[in-house]
Structure 1
Amino acid sequence: MKQQCIQVDKKKGESVRKVLMENGALDTSVRIVSDESYIYIPLISAVDLKDLLFEDLQVTEHDFKVHEKPATLESILGHIPRYEVIGNIALLESDEGDLETTAAALLKVQPHLHTVLSALSPVEGEFRTRRFTFVKGENTTQTVHREYSCKYAIDMEKAYFTPRLATERSRILEQVKDGEVIVDMFAGVGPFSILIAKGRPSCRVVAIDKNPEAVKFLRHNIELNAVSNVEAVEGDAKEEAQRYIGVADHIIMNLPHTAQEFLGAAIVIAKPGTVIHYYDITPESDLYSTSLGHIESAASKAGFAVELIGTRIVRSYSPHQFNVCIEVKLY
């Protein structure tokens, strides 16, 4: 496509381009081209160059190629699909329609992705795992996820992990002071524990999980992130609590739906001044009251009073249900 342009010596090309850009005279819809001696800078048609021209510039015509706009999911599919990215794996919602077409678009638009999966089940079972179906790319459920300077090796079918709590994990880190003891009662592959350990090297972190596969990855991730202040414990938090009586400054209870069953164990680990970060799935009609009542009841049995520090909605979980966090201090 021929159009008006400025022919300029290569040494002056960048300075001329900047002046044209600042004055709205540069046509950015096509690519600047060059040969051995000159750069050809495309102009918006009918632009007045009287006040812009440098010496030794020549207005001429040249062939230019239009910039190709990068493909987007919306331009390919006509909509933006629901998915999340864990490492180099994209996880599509199972009701996303034509999974093959959507997966192909994802792999095209995001070259760092190697695999597209779709969930066959919700989080289920004693070890809180999910089942997946392979859609496109490399047939694997293993990846390495990077988050806040940490790396987490994961097998998505063997241990639960969600990137949607990244901000929440960072928020908890900001509450932890140097030298404190943190007990992560349901640590999984270690996203809370390792981030805190790395961000607060003087702290001691006890990371507990019942799922042996999760603990295997947890131990690997401790090495992967070169943190020496995390103790990985395989076992039921109710039983393991007896080994850590009254040690915790912070207790992380990220086990939505069933954290209530472990409040007694959390109180064993606690001491006056302990902060409990309690996560639950609650209906919008009762976001905090019932859950807070459970915490207060468990604390009262052990002679603790409860000070409510804060409540927050972490994310939407399903229609009319939310993943919430309730934070209290015992005294």
Structure 2
Amino acid sequence: MKRQCIKIPKKKGESARRVLLDFEILDNTMKIGSDDTFLYLPLSREPLSHELTGLPEEAELAEFDFEAQAKKPTPGDLLGFNPDYELIGDIALLEDPDLDSQKALRIADSLLRAQPNIKTVVKPLTPVIGEFRVREFEVIAGEHRTETIHREYGCRYKVDLSKAYFTPRLSTERSRILSWIKDGDTVVDMFAGVGPYSILIAKSKKPAKVVAIDKNPDAVHYLKENISINSAKNVEAIEGDAREEAKRFAGTADHVIMNLPHSAYEFLDSAVLLTKPGGIIHYYGITPEDDLFESSIKLIREAAEKAGRKIEVLEKKVVRSYAPHQYNICIEAKIL
């Protein structure tokens, strides 16, 4: 099966393999290929530029005809159905909060048996609640903890799930936002959490500055730790209300990220204040299927007009389904 891969001299193969494992882009469903001189390491996706720089200089992108690995039993094979869960670092989060204890234990046991990388299985006891957007959890099986390190696009995020909200389901969206950023831009992440937008941007591009704001002191604690872990030196972490911090950075932002979909609309005046002429607001919302974008665009336009400015809508996107007939959406709006 033809796949994109890293072609590397055999003597450098192990160091390259470890880099790809760390970035989680080595495709373990395929056997590593070889010939007399080179190893061919199969890739699970297109690597980002900063991931390639971590490889030995002899490494190059190539294609190779790989053999599939023998299939190992999956949790679905053991259970007879595919369990619904989210993997954050080495913690599996069961998605159904109404699971009875016996079924939750069965699922947890299958996950631990089939996937050695999973060390803890938890289920939520509450939805995301409060101004800090956190949930309470019960540990079902494995190590009794809610702290982990999650790897994504070559970045590492330390997080305690009970203290700061994090979801890997937005990884593709975070990569999409990255494509909007240019070298030298100033980015303000109004609701930064533990830093998955801010740190990825800082590591993958060359922004002049990334201002990462969050009101949750625990999230900011992990944000600062993640800045250090990832050597993202051009990220400024701020614990505070985004409305107040916007006054300090008024008119400086080329990009304003508003990933607080349930209540971002309450902060639109501050986002407009932050944005320099021609800057872009990346606005997230939760909207019904019969009004995906228009009401949100109206809110953005009204906030801009209040400040004597206009908007140009650059892109409208459904990010994911959120609930029956409700969607998580993103709108890119240029503030003129």
Gaps of 5+ in 1: 1-66
Q: Equivalents in 1 of 2:220, 2:278: separation in Å?
A: 29
Q: Residue type matched to 2:315 in 1?
A: G
1:146 aligns with 2:146: no
The equivalent residue for 1:99 is 104
The equivalent residue for 1:185 is 190
The equivalent residue for 1:304 is 309
The equivalent residue for 2:115 is 110
Maintained 8 Å contact 1:119/1:131:
yes
1:220 aligns with 2:225: yes
1:259-274 → structure 2 map (5 Å cutoff): 259-274=264-279
Q: Equivalents in 2 of 1:286, 1:308: separation in Å?
A: 16
Maintained 8 Å contact 1:82/1:96:
no
The equivalent residue for 2:288 is 283
How much does 1:330 deviate? 1.0
Match of 1:256 among 258, 261, 267: 261
Match of 2:202 among 197, 203, 206: 197
Match of 1:127 among 121, 124, 132: 132
Q: Equivalents in 2 of 1:189, 1:261: separation in Å?
A: 22
Deviation string 1:35-69 (CA, Å, 9 cap, x unpaired) is xxxxxxxxxxxxxxxxxxxxxxxxxxxxxxxx996
Maintained 8 Å contact 2:284/2:330:
yes
1:243 aligns with 2:248: yes
How much does 1:201 deviate? 2.9
Q: Equivalents in 1 of 2:231, 2:70: separation in Å?
A: 44
Maintained 8 Å contact 2:252/2:275:
yes
SS in structure 2 opposite 1:196?
helix
TM-score, structure 2 as length reference: 0.77
Q: Equivalents in 2 of 1:185, 1:254: separation in Å?
A: 8
Q: Equivalents in 2 of 1:92, 1:123: separation in Å?
A: 14
Change (3 A) 1:219 1:68: closer
Gaps of 5+ in 2: 1-68
How much does 1:202 deviate? 4.0
The equivalent residue for 2:59 is none
Q: Equivalents in 1 of 2:133, 2:72: separation in Å?
A: 39
Q: Residue type matched to 2:248 in 1?
A: R
How much does 1:270 deviate? 1.1
Q: Residue type matched to 2:75 in 1?
A: L
How much does 1:203 deviate? 2.9
Maintained 8 Å contact 1:120/1:131:
yes
1:81 aligns with 2:83: yes
Q: Residue type matched to 2:73 in 1?
A: A
Deviation string 1:124-182 (CA, Å, 9 cap, x unpaired) is 10101111111000010000000000000000000000000000101111110000000
SS in structure 1 opposite 2:174?
helix
Moved over 3 A (4+): none
Q: Equivalents in 1 of 2:235, 2:198: separation in Å?
A: 7
Q: Residue type matched to 1:306 in 2?
A: I
Match of 1:292 among 281, 291, 297: 297
Deviation string 1:227-271 (CA, Å, 9 cap, x unpaired) is 110000110000111100100000000001100100011111112
SS in structure 1 opposite 2:284?
strand
How much does 1:96 deviate? 4.2
Change (3 A) 1:322 1:103: same
Deviation string 1:13-39 (CA, Å, 9 cap, x unpaired) is xxxxxxxxxxxxxxxxxxxxxxxxxxx
How much does 1:304 deviate? 1.0
Change (3 A) 1:191 1:68: closer
Q: Equivalents in 2 of 1:246, 1:69: separation in Å?
A: 55
SS in structure 1 opposite 2:277?
coil
Q: Based on CA coordinates, which of the two structures has the bigger radius of gyration?
A: 1
Maintained 8 Å contact 1:278/1:327:
yes
Q: Work out the number of aligned pairs and report it.
A: 265
In percent, how many aligned pairs have the same letter?
56
